[in-house]
Amino acid sequence: MKNAMSLNSKVIVSSRGQVVIPSVLREKLGIYTGKELLFNARDDGVIELRPLTRSIEQFFGRCKRAGEATMSIEDMDAAIAQAITENNSGSPDAQ
């Protein structure tokens, strides 16, 4: 059985519908500025708030440009090596 953490804090909803997550909860849960959270309203009236986590698989294909073929790992490695070579050829340390 999992050990469940239980921290309760009262918050007040502002006129803009905002609530402040108490610092003890933010610290304990790793919630920081810009962190995405997922609200879930259950049928029994309970609101769940969870930090949104993403896996690397969710980012696959995000950088692909329209009309360009997908690069293989080998092509990516070659492009990186070429960029490093070109970048280093102009530096004073390269001579």
- The CA distance from 60 to 48, in Å, is 29
Domains of the chain, with CATH numbers? 10-54 (2.10.260.10)
**Across 8-17, 63-72, 84-93, which has the greatest mean pLDDT?**
8-17
pLDDT bracket for residue 92 (50, 70, 90): low
- Does the pLDDT value for residue 32 go beyond 50? yes
Region 42-53: mean pLDDT is 89
* Mean pLDDT rounded to a whole number for the chain: 81
Note whether 48 and 42 are within 8 A (CB).
Answer: yes
- The CA distance from 94 to 64, in Å, is 33
Model pLDDT, residue 91: 56
